[in-house]
Amino acid sequence: MRHSHIIDLRSDTVTLPTDEMLEAARHAKMGDDYYCEDPTVNRLQELAAQKMGKDAALLVPSGTQANLISLMSNCNKGELVILESESHIYWYEVGGVSSVAGLLPWTIKSAKGAYDPDDLKAPIRPKNLSYPEPSLICVENTHNRHGGTVITADQLGQISSIAKQNNLKLYMDGARIFNAAIALKTSPDKLTKHVDNMMFCLSKGLCCPVGSIIVGDKEFIGRARKIRKLLGGQLRQAGIIAAPGIVALEKMVDRLRIDHENAKLLAQKISKIKGINIDINSVQTNMATFTLDSQIDDSVFLNKLKEQGVLALPMSKNKIRLVTHYGIERSDIEKASVIIEEALTGYDL
């Protein structure tokens, strides 16, 4: 390996807390959050609700738990929930949507994460003795498996009107909502105003070690709080987690634009390499997803990268994801592209 440090492009979840976050955690004022007496948690929740333009917020341990709690808080067992077919909830959350929340997922394909409004007609059917009741539409913004693509305020508005016309709720898995807002040159509340409730993660590009936040109206958050307790997610002196969260919201949001620039640079560089197929237009935030020509064995390729200190994530056969984040500098992008090119030499491409 030629480089002293690993260039870890698997995910923005690998980010470590900043010194300021660690200091904030060390000095955090704490109390028992069961009694709503942790002042740091309360401050973080107020700040989060305000940034997202909603009444209330709830700190939970993970994005997966935030999604599960929100599904349960929005729906009754046996109801039908509309999910995008590549969504994180459907692919990567152990099927909690069915096994724990007791919901029937109806998946809809989309080009880059935003539903074509016409496609929502199939699951939203006229009432019938035989049909499960649809109660919720979910969107994911940015969309992970589509490569960090954004759903615009207009697209959300269209989906929201369909939800309203049919008396359904609209929920957003906004794990990376700040990336979406930055890419769209808007503020997150301009996006969240179209949804009834949503969650975002502190522990991805914002660098916190733990935590996600659910936001919505007071009633919804009240139910969510009880479900968090049911699922074992009620924490006690959670100020130690909330303090880095406050630093994240105040100091770490604007710099996400650097990650976006780096992802674009990386995409441009690797688009020139033979054997790699990448749609530069779909690199909208901090992810660059590409496919390898079929004659290349993806595990051999990934191992070659690893030997040279670059880590990448396989998404499915020959589809690979690279994610930029805090700690990845422009120089790492230059090095990683050279290593990727070298890993593909020797093939008849």
Ligand X SMILES: Cc1ncc(COP(=O)(O)O)c(C=O)c1O
Which residues of this chain interact with ligand X, rule CB under 6 A? 13, 62-64, 67, 88, 140, 144, 173, 175, 201, 203, 212
Closest contact distance (angstroms) between CB of 200 and ligand X is: 9
Closest contact distance (angstroms) between CB of 148 and ligand X is: 9
Closest contact distance (angstroms) between CB of 173 and ligand X is: 5
Query: Which residue pairs, CB below 8 angstroms and at least 24 apart, start in 120-123?
Result: 120/82, 120/159, 120/162, 123/80, 123/82
Residue 151 or 201 having the CB closest to ligand X: 201
Burial label for 144, CB within 10 Å (0-12, 13-18, 19+), is buried
In sequence order, what are the residues at sequence separation of 6 or more whose Cβ sits closer than 8 angstroms to the Cβ of residue 231?
A: 65, 68, 69, 100
Closest contact distance (angstroms) between CB of 345 and ligand X is: 32
Closest contact distance (angstroms) between CB of 175 and ligand X is: 3
The Cα–Cα gap between 8 and 327 comes to 9
Residue 144 or 337 having the CB closest to ligand X: 144
Strands 104-108 and 80-84: parallel
**Is residue 148 within 8 Å of 283, Cβ to Cβ?**
yes
**Is residue 251 within 8 Å of 116, Cβ to Cβ?**
no
Residue 75 or 83 having the CB closest to ligand X: 83
CA torsion through residues 160, 166, 167, 171, sign: negative
The Cα–Cα gap between 297 and 104 comes to 37
What stretch of H or E contains 299?
A: helix 298-307
Closest contact distance (angstroms) between CB of 143 and ligand X is: 7
Residue 194 or 269 having the CB closest to ligand X: 194
What DSSP designation does 346 have?
T
Instruction: State both tokens at 17.
Output: 């807390």
Residue 150 or 201 having the CB closest to ligand X: 201
Closest contact distance (angstroms) between CB of 140 and ligand X is: 5
The Cα–Cα gap between 49 and 262 comes to 30
Residue 144 or 285 having the CB closest to ligand X: 144
Closest contact distance (angstroms) between CB of 112 and ligand X is: 14
CA torsion through residues 263, 264, 269, 274, sign: positive
Residue 162 or 180 having the CB closest to ligand X: 180
- How crowded is the C-beta side of 8, counted as CA atoms within 13 Å? 11
Residue closest to ligand X when measured from CB atoms: 63
Residue 49 or 177 having the CB closest to ligand X: 177
